[in-house]
Amino acid sequence: MTHSEQVSRPAAPPDATPEAARRDWAWKRLATPIGPLLLAATRKGLVRVVFHADERTARRELTRLEQFFGGAPLASVPHLETAAAELTAYFAGELHSFTVPLDWSLSCGFPARVLHALADGVPYGSVVGYQDLADRVGEPGAARAVGAAMGSNPLPVIVPCHRVVASDGGIGGFGGGLETKRLLLALEGVLPAPLF
């Protein structure tokens, strides 16, 4: 399989999950300085973070997760509360490294390799270029594909795609919107805090 075929494969979960593959999961919405986040977790770990989780966005994502996990959510699972507590501490400036276990089941192939490299190698308060991240995963010609992998990140903030920036000094794109990216980078001290 060529590199471009790996990148162009759809990352969306299947429409239905066989009965034997049903998995326990739960979700909650968390109020944050960048707007409401929808968090979803399984017994394995945090599986999904969704920006701008208003009612409509939350409903759409919950339908998708019910299909992927083969059933309705539980009231809670342990990793969900851990993720919420850690994100609250992060936004308060009290946490610089997340410890909540992650469930990577919504990511595979090249995007998963890039996201693992990002999660493991780009700490709080630092940034990395798309090209540098491509080099780190052994794909030096794949800077654009790294951008696509950032767009498919199922765990933004926790897996810090906001720390990936353009080589020309710009902040690059961001699935949560550029203002959200600026706020996250300001929180981590990479950019000056907004005046307003």
Residues noted as catalytic: 161
Which residue, among 65, 101, 67, has the nearest Cα to 83 in the 3D structure? Answer: 101
Question: Please, which residues bridge with residue 26 across strands?
Answer: 41
CA atoms within 13 A on the CB side of 21: 11
How large is the angle between the packed helices 143-151 and 109-121, nearest 10 degrees?
90
Question: Please, which residues bridge with residue 128 across strands?
Answer: 164
Contact 156, 162 (CB under 8 A): yes
User: In angstroms, rounded to a whole number, what is the distance separating the alpha carbons of residues 84 and 174?
Assistant: 22
Q: Distance of CA 173 to CAs 79, 87, 105, 145, Å?
A: 29, 22, 24, 13
